[in-house]
């Protein structure tokens, strides 16, 4: 694979946009992420909600033509590939695997991909804004049953690792873990997978990337427990610098229990992007993330974090900062994660909408293909 000299942009990809039986059972027949997106309401004057998709419409990911169109859009913008979120809850329990499995088995779209394990439980509040005012209930619990499950999980993703489209770093398939510290014994997990990889012809093992979130003090620990790289998610860090750490923590607690009576958690996008990169992003094995925006109100209601004033022009500045961070790294390591391709209910997407059209994709294309 030819590596672009400026950056390897890999976009997070959510496979939620289609009906499946668990969603039907938990939130009603036909529920998808579009349900939240379509019924979102502005919470204050000038709040950009609801967000309406343009070129692709309210698509259904079960349709191969939609997946082809997404890949073509991404390819034209210079994006290297998609990182599909992968859900393995233990004991063989999965969710939304059918979309990626169809991509894998059909060979289409012929567009690079990798996997990110979203190793967190699902609760009533995970996806549905209507549940925010009710007691939270676990729906699917993330479990770690032991070595047999670690092996089963590896065998589940092995066909993907062996696919010619799978994205590699240093000749290793890249695999992200959403909550690296959530693993009971991360080093043990990594050791087993690397051994199994080598036994199955992946001679150099797996390139493990831990998503780093929360306070900066936690970040170095991820590398200490055996991960090859980290992907700093500095949202909490940036928000705390804008508001102050104590105010951020107190507001978070109050909003959790008294959302109706606590001010909204608002930030200006232009202020947030000043603090979204840290020294960890500058490390050779630190892979920065860029966000087009952030607004979880379609899922979280008044509990949501909301960034205001995001525009393609500000995103261009943010993206350019990320490119400058990686420009002196080895080509293999010039990775920038785009968070995200299609997280519509979090406001972080670059797919065309009615307000900005393809402007965000055009920014990426301009900066990567100059």
The pLDDT value recorded for residue 215 is: 77
Q: Residue 325: which pLDDT band, with cuts at 50, 70 and 90?
A: very high
Mean pLDDT of 245-269: 81
Cβ neighbours of residue 360 under 8 Å, at least 6 residues apart? 292, 312, 315, 350
Mean pLDDT of 19-45: 95
The pLDDT value recorded for residue 128 is: 58
Structural domain count, the chain: 1
- Identify whether 2 is part of a domain: no
Q: What is the pLDDT of residues 156-212, one digit of tens each?
A: 999 999 999 999 999 999 999 999 999 999 999 999 999 999 999 999 999 999 999
List the CATH number of the domain containing 139: 3.20.20.80
The pLDDT value recorded for residue 218 is: 84
pLDDT > 70: percent of the chain? 95
Cβ neighbours of residue 28 under 8 Å, at least 6 residues apart? none
pLDDT of residue 131 exceeding 80, the answer is no
Q: What is the Cα–Cα distance from 301 to 210, expressed in whole angstroms? A: 29
Token digits of residue 284: 């050779």
Nearest to 229 by CA among 169, 307, 316, 171: 169
The pLDDT value recorded for residue 247 is: 80
Nearest to 291 by CA among 317, 327, 266: 317
The pLDDT value recorded for residue 1 is: 43
Instruction: Look over the chain and give the mean of its residue pLDDT values, rounded to a whole number.
Output: 94
Q: Residue 248: which pLDDT band, with cuts at 50, 70 and 90?
A: confident
pLDDT of residue 252 exceeding 90, the answer is no
Mean pLDDT of 2-8: 70
Token digits of residue 344: 């519509």
DSSP H helices, the chain, are 21-27, 33-39, 64-77, 97-106, 147-161, 186-199, 219-224, 235-243, 245-257, 269-272, 279-282, 297-300, 312-326, 359-369
pLDDT of residue 72 exceeding 50, the answer is yes
Q: Residue 273: which pLDDT band, with cuts at 50, 70 and 90?
A: very high
- Identify whether 345 is part of a domain: yes
For residue 81, the enclosing domain spans 8-369
Q: What is the pLDDT of residues 48-68, one digit of tens each?
A: 999 999 999 999 999 999 999
Q: What is the Cα–Cα distance from 126 to 116, expressed in whole angstroms? A: 18
Mean pLDDT of 103-109: 99
First to last CA, the chain: 20
Under DSSP, is residue 19 helix (H, G, I), strand (E, B) or coil? coil
**With contact defined as beta carbons under 8 Å apart, do 350 and 11 qualify?**
yes
**With contact defined as beta carbons under 8 Å apart, do 341 and 45 qualify?**
no
Q: Residue 256: which pLDDT band, with cuts at 50, 70 and 90?
A: confident
Helices (H) and strands (E) in the chain, counts: 14, 16
Rounded (10°) angle between helices 245-257 and 235-243: 110
123 versus 142: the higher-pLDDT residue is: 142
Q: What is the Cα–Cα distance from 127 to 118, expressed in whole angstroms? A: 14
pLDDT of residue 224 exceeding 50, the answer is yes
Q: Which stretch of 107-121, 221-235, 251-265, 319-333 has the lowest confidence by average pLDDT?
A: 251-265
- Identify whether 189 is part of a domain: yes
The pLDDT value recorded for residue 3 is: 46
Mean pLDDT of 290-310: 96
- Identify whether 212 is part of a domain: yes
- Ramachandran bin of 356, using left for φ above 0, alpha for ψ from -120 to 50, beta for the remaining angles: alpha
- Identify whether 1 is part of a domain: no
pLDDT of residue 251 exceeding 90, the answer is no
**With contact defined as beta carbons under 8 Å apart, do 121 and 181 qualify?**
no
Residue 306's beta-bridge partner residues?
266, 295
The pLDDT value recorded for residue 194 is: 99
Largest Cα–Cα distance of the chain, in whole Å?
A: 59
pTM of the model: 0.95
pLDDT of residue 2 exceeding 50, the answer is no
Mean pLDDT of 266-278: 97
Exposure class string for 358-369: b at 16+ Cβ within 10 A, else e = bbbbbbbeebbe
**With contact defined as beta carbons under 8 Å apart, do 119 and 149 qualify?**
no
Q: Residue 335: which pLDDT band, with cuts at 50, 70 and 90?
A: very high
pLDDT of residue 148 exceeding 60, the answer is yes
Mean pLDDT of 281-305: 96
The pLDDT value recorded for residue 217 is: 80
Q: What is the Cα–Cα distance from 181 to 104, expressed in whole angstroms? A: 29
Mean pLDDT of 322-328: 97
- Identify whether 3 is part of a domain: no
- Identify whether 232 is part of a domain: yes
């Amino acid at each position: 694979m030819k590596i672009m000299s400026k950056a390897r942009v890999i976009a997070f990809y959510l496979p939620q946009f289609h009906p499946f039986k668990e969603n039907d059972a938990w939130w009603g027949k036909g529920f998808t992420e579009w349900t939240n997106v379509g019924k979102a309401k502005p919470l204050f004057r000038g709040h950009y909600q609801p967000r309406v998709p343009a070129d692709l419409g309210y698509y259904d990911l079960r349709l191969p033509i939609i997946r082809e169109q997404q890949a073509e859009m991404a390819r034209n913008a210079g994006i290297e590939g998609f990182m599909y979120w992968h859900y393995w809850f233990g004991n063989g329990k999965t969710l939304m695997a059918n979309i990626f499995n169809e991509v894998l088995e059909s060979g289409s779209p012929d567009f690079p991909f990798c996997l990110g394990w979203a190793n967190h439980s699902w609760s009533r509040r995970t996806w549905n804004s209507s549940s925010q005012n009710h007691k939270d209930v676990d729906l699917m619990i993330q479990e770690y049953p032991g070595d047999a499950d670690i092996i089963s999980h590896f065998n589940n993703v092995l066909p993907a690792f062996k696919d010619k489209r799978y994205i590699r770093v240093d000749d290793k398939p890249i695999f992200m873990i959403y909550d690296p510290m959530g693993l009971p014994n991360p080093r043990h997990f990594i050791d087993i997978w690397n051994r199994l990889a080598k036994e199955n012809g992946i001679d150099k093992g797996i390139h493990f990337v831990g998503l780093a979130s929360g306070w900066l003090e936690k970040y170095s620990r991820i590398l200490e427990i055996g991960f090859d790289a980290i992907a700093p998610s500095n949202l909490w860090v940036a928000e705390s610098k804008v508001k102050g750490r104590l105010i951020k923590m107190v507001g978070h607690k109050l909003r959790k229990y008294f959302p109706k009576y606590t001010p909204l958690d608002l930030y200006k996008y232009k202020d947030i992007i000043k603090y979204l990169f840290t020294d960890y992003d500058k490390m050779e094995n630190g892979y920065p993330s860029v966000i087009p925006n952030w607004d979880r109100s379609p899922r979280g209601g008044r509990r949501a974090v909301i960034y205001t004033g995001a525009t393609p022009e500000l995103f261009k500045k943010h993206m350019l900062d990320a490119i400058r961070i990686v420009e002196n790294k080895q080509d293999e390591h010039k990775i920038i994660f785009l968070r995200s391709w299609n997280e519509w209910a979090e406001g972080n997407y670059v797919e065309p909408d009615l307000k900005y059209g393809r402007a965000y994709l055009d920014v990426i294309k301009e900066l990567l293909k100059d």
